[in-house]
Amino acid sequence: MSASPTSFAPMKFGRFNLRLDAAARPLVMGILNVTPDSFSDGGRYNSLELAITHAEQMIAEGVDIIDIGGESTRPGSVSLSEEEELQRVMPVLYALRDCGKPLSVDTCKPRVMREAIIAGADMINDVNGFRAEGALRAVSDSDCGLCIMHMLGEPRSMQQNPQYGDVVGDVIAYFQERIGALEAAGIERRRLCIDPGFGFGKTLAHNLSLLRNLQQMQTTFALPLLAGLSRKTMIGNITGKPVEGRLAGSLGGALAAVAHGARIVRVHDVAETVDALAVWQAAMHNN
């Protein structure tokens, strides 16, 4: 059974204002990893030409936002230097900034945030929730959208026996603190969305509890929620499939997330997700 839809004013994504109201199709954020070691597609798009070709393919498939990532945050990954991350991300960002779609940069480093915003990024997607020293200063004077994600610990160790008292309550308390910090830095709420961070310091039981309670998290703050379940270990745990066999499970996860209220889904498989959401939208809304 789907959650009662929550409507939002258009969200500010830098040069764009994107509809997130209940009558609009949930937005599809396509993943563009320019890394050699991402858990799902590492090395496939880590040249400029291949990255641009993949972005063009996603645009043709109906993507709403392109999320560029230069550093893997898979469980067990080691942090990248600022210089190397910039060398991976900036050429792609410059090449795509006039593609007609909002560009998000997936980073937790303040310097990368600043450089990306100068280069035209429309959103900063931070797995660390803008907790790094200087992160709030890096984004406060811009008009780009900001995604606040929850992560327990750090990628190197986050999946080593993660524990919560109450995972939903703990994640809500985290968002309460982080949203307060961003607002105290003068950042408008219309620039914000939240992401519970599926797989970032969570067991399968934690992930499923969060998935079932997305609407509660979203309505608590009256902010749109972004969900990223695509090809993750939780999909593999449920289906028994390896990464390359998780398309159907990922589509099920995306539909479950939007049924529970998510307004943005972050995915690897854009065309299939756009089609699945179009059918879901037609079935659920008379528009």
Q: Annotated catalytic, 15?
A: no
- 245-249 long-range contacts (CB < 8 A, ≥24 apart) are 247/272
AA identity, residue 152: L
Annotated catalytic residue 266: yes
Whether the Cβ atoms of residue 261 and residue 215 lie closer than 8 Å to each other = yes
Burial of residue 78 (CB within 10 Å: 0-12, 13-18, 19+) is exposed
Order across the sheet with 192-195: list the strands.
192-195, 145-149, 123-126, 103-106, 65-69, 27-33, 264-267, 226-227
Active-site residue, from 178, 232, 246, 263: 232
Q: Which residues pair with 195 in a beta bridge?
A: 149
Helix (H, G, I), strand (E, B) or coil at 137: helix
158: phi then psi, degrees, rounded to nearest 5:
-65, -25
Give the residue numbers annotated as catalytic, written as ranges: 232, 266
